[in-house]
Structure 1
């Protein structure tokens, strides 16, 4: 086993296996109807049901170099993907959830999708411009992007709160990667975590009660795969933080929104070392 796609129940504190494979797969999204996950592997995206069946490839047209930054619109109709086939750099596209021709959204590259606004009208993402990592938003129709951060360290991994009031993200502006949040208009930047870990990929739960964070050891740079990490749960303001699970993982474990629609569970990937 190389990759183990699993679901963690917050109430019971137990994880159950959905599917295991010798392949490297990453970044599960949970469908809004609760019936399946979407994962990526080998540049493709797959639909994975909970019945033990093998995942089924999604038709993404020409996009055959998809990375692990993908996610489903709140109404369940549309899939956002990040793919580098067309330009050699990651660009964000939208396509029907059932598969189809990708439509380009971002003209500035590279751009890595991370979240939908609750109303489904706006995307948030990490954009690298002149080697500077910042948080941006753009309409699903495309057009001009809005820059929310201004190069204060490396800014990455944005995800929207369910009430639409905040965009959570991770930033190294304090020296170590921690979780911050900002209003969608770029105002009121607040620090959320302040601890010895390297915190990445904050995901607010759909019910607004929790914030899920992937935490590396504090001396780890970037977000590599195949390390001992922990998944931590906290209040939306960073209070009452606790470790839910320690595992071998990192990159690919939960890069993108991964909560169940009810907010009672989340999906993640656990890894075994390559042989």
Structure 2
């Protein structure tokens, strides 16, 4: 298989560990670990059998019960995938963001990718995928555009048909937004944003209707909160919480995984770990809505 080109090295003595946690706490279960380079962003397949992750620009799957070694997924000409990838509700398709700034669709069984997203002018315009609607018809992504001389300065939420078609802008603000995901009933899109933040980087969790209306802020604390992931049964939202004052979602920091209700009810800590970028970038809930996959990066 072709060698990937999006490689994230590890520190000396560092490991990347793919683990399974439980919404009620308890001891996590190790599925796979690597000392060669960082693996990131697990997805759990809808049938419960596999965990999909990216490493070195490629995608792999490993049995969720930890049996067997990871298997490469053929992504054809895309060899620089990043940690923004999701599965279709039927599990047949993987949608992934690549180094060309576009979103592509690849069969779960492997094959040549199909580009989903459009060219935009003026550019550059980059697409970072995070969500797919419950009926599989629509993708939610972060669109990154130039702003005030910064190529990465304008980050907003968009949707696009999964089969390709016109983009729909849901937010239009210099306050950075990221991580859009649909609720399992399709009624909401959860995301993180610096909307209303008093200091740069102070992202909190929001939700809005799929047409961009009815914006609601769900968290309001001193920590920096990213990547909300609704559970399949709609009862929980899992997210990664960075220390106060964090800018963006960096790697190799002490973070907390938190869970709350779908409207922000009763947030609570589930796990504390050394991680951040790559730990929980995409939805990783098991079909049972009790377990979830994540990655930590301990340094011996």
TM above 0.5: yes
Residue equivalent to 1:61: 76
Separation in structure 2 between the aligned mates of residue 186 and residue 204 of structure 1, nearest angstrom: 18
Change (3 A) 1:12 1:243: closer
Partner SS for 2:28: strand
Runs of 5+ consecutive residues of structure 2 not aligned to the other structure: 1-13, 120-124, 147-152
Contact 2:24–2:270 at 8 Å: present in 1 too? no
Contact 1:170–1:199 at 8 Å: present in 2 too? yes
Residue equivalent to 1:13: 26
TM-score (norm 1): 0.95
**CA deviation string 1:69-101 (max 9, x = no partner):** 0011001111101112xxxx3210111111111
Residue 92 of structure 1: which of 93, 103, 119 is its match?
103
Residue equivalent to 2:95: 80
Contact 2:205–2:219 at 8 Å: present in 1 too? yes
Contact 1:116–1:160 at 8 Å: present in 2 too? yes
Shift of 1:152: 4.5
Residue equivalent to 2:118: 107
Shift of 1:43: 0.4
Partner SS for 1:14: coil
Shift of 1:201: 0.2
Alignment length, in residue pairs? 270
Contact 1:19–1:52 at 8 Å: present in 2 too? no
Shift of 1:52: 3.4
Shift of 1:13: 2.9
Residue equivalent to 2:206: 180
Separation in structure 2 between the aligned mates of residue 200 and residue 91 of structure 1, nearest angstrom: 22
Separation in structure 1 between the aligned mates of residue 66 and residue 269 of structure 2, nearest angstrom: 29
CA RMSD of aligned residues (A): 1.2
Residue equivalent to 2:43: 29
Residue equivalent to 1:118: 134
Separation in structure 2 between the aligned mates of residue 118 and residue 11 of structure 1, nearest angstrom: 26
Separation in structure 2 between the aligned mates of residue 75 and residue 266 of structure 1, nearest angstrom: 19
Separation in structure 1 between the aligned mates of residue 298 and residue 273 of structure 2, nearest angstrom: 10
Separation in structure 1 between the aligned mates of residue 116 and residue 34 of structure 2, nearest angstrom: 33
Shift of 1:141: 1.5
**CA deviation string 1:19-60 (max 9, x = no partner):** 111021000000000001000010000011123322111100
Residue equivalent to 2:156: 134
Residue equivalent to 1:247: 273
Shift of 1:144: 1.0
Partner SS for 1:221: coil
Separation in structure 2 between the aligned mates of residue 65 and residue 207 of structure 1, nearest angstrom: 33
Separation in structure 1 between the aligned mates of residue 75 and residue 155 of structure 2, nearest angstrom: 27
